[in-house]
Amino acid sequence: MSHPLTGRVALVIGGSRNIGRAVTLELARQGADVAIIASHHGEAMSETLAQVEALGCQGLGLVADLADAEAVERAVQRVSERFHRLDSLVCCAAIRPHTPFAELTLEEWRRVMAINLDGVFLASKACLPLLLDSDQAAIITLGGVSAHRGAAERAHVIASKMGVVGLTRALAVEFGERGVTANCIVPGQIDTERPAGSPPPRLQGGEEPPVGRLGRPEEVAALVCHLAGPMSRYTTGQTFHLNGGSYLG
């Protein structure tokens, strides 16, 4: 089955850059039409959609504030109007600021929660009616390894990402009998593009995981597509750590 997702439709939240882009393109390689929701329609989204279409699949780029319920609902409605179905929801978007706890304001706490956790809630809720009509429905979320081993100056990020794990498990239990699977992937340190001026990717604490390198976005994408595929219908409610052995949970 070289194209196990042929005829399927996926929605990737944060699907135009880094891990999200890798997920979008791998879904298309496996035959799925893919819609993307991002914070703006920039060059990265245009390039990603062009690559989706070059792979012979349809792409749709949408802009929405993940903290705005009405905006998310409108975006999902566009997906429904274009494709008339939805089989997979993949939530990749997140923000990860570093702020000492003593300096952390309620405003920043809520901003991180709004994107990282509320965004997953709003997207899942808006997509659920479409997913329930699929015979291969999958919700796939992304956690964060720091949420499992702890980290300084990231209380807001860690709390939001543990919330994603809990929400994913709740969805798995509540909608399992109706054919919807829900799983969370927790990437370790992945070699992604960084904003100009940012330090290059490095192994946290300078310690190499047993595999001796950073992970690649494509490796996360491969697991996403497996969980979205026909061979994962009995896999739900799980948290998959993908970190080269740097965290053994």
Q: What is the CATH number of the domain that holds 75?
A: 3.40.50.720
Give the pLDDT band of residue 249 (cuts 50, 70, 90).
confident
Neighbour-count burial of 152, counting CB atoms closer than 10 A to its CB (0-12 exposed, 13-18 middle, 19+ buried) = exposed
- Residue 177 lies inside a defined structural domain of this protein: yes
Give the pLDDT band of residue 206 (cuts 50, 70, 90).
low
Q: Distance between CA atoms of 29 and 4, rounded to whole angstroms?
A: 10
> What is the average per-residue pLDDT within 98-126?
98
Domain that holds residue 83: 9-194+202-242
- Residue 124 lies inside a defined structural domain of this protein: yes
- Residue 248 lies inside a defined structural domain of this protein: no
Determine the pLDDT at residue 201. Answer: 53
Between 109 and 197, the higher pLDDT residue = 109
Q: What sign results for the dihedral spanned by CA atoms 150, 151, 152, 156?
A: negative
- Residue 102 lies inside a defined structural domain of this protein: yes
Between 249 and 121, the higher pLDDT residue = 121
Give the pLDDT band of residue 204 (cuts 50, 70, 90).
low
Decide if pLDDT at 245 tops 70. Answer: yes
Decide if pLDDT at 248 tops 80. Answer: yes
The DSSP call for residue 199 is P
> What is the average per-residue pLDDT within 179-197?
86
- Residue 129 lies inside a defined structural domain of this protein: yes
Determine the pLDDT at residue 202. Answer: 53
> What is the average per-residue pLDDT within 179-183?
98
- Window from 54-58, 61-65, 198-202 with minimum mean pLDDT: 198-202
Q: Which residues of 40-71 are buried (b: 16+ CB within 10 A; e: fewer)?
A: eeeebbeebbebbeebebebbbbebbbbeeeb
- Residue 190 lies inside a defined structural domain of this protein: yes
Decide if pLDDT at 128 tops 60. Answer: yes
> What is the average per-residue pLDDT within 31-55?
96
Decide if pLDDT at 49 tops 60. Answer: yes
126, 173 in Cβ contact below 8 A? Answer: no
| DSSP one-letter string for 34-96 | EEEEESS--HHHHHHHHHHHHTT--EEEEE--TT-HHHHHHHHHHHHHHHS---EEEE-----
- Residue 3 lies inside a defined structural domain of this protein: no
Q: Which range in 168-172, 196-200, 207-211 is most confidently predicted, on average pLDDT?
A: 168-172
Structure tokens belonging to residue 52: 């989706």
* Number of domains making up the chain: 1
> What is the average per-residue pLDDT within 124-129?
98
Determine the pLDDT at residue 41. Answer: 86
Q: Name the helix (H) or strand (E) containing 99.
A: none
Q: Distance between CA atoms of 73 and 52, rounded to whole angstroms?
A: 24
pLDDT digits (tens, 9 = 90+) for 63-94: 999 999 999 999 999 999 999 999 999 999 99
Antiparallel, parallel or unpaired: β 59-63 and 33-38: parallel
Query: What is the pLDDT of the chain when averaged over all its residues?
Result: 94
- Residue 247 lies inside a defined structural domain of this protein: no
> What is the average per-residue pLDDT within 12-31?
97
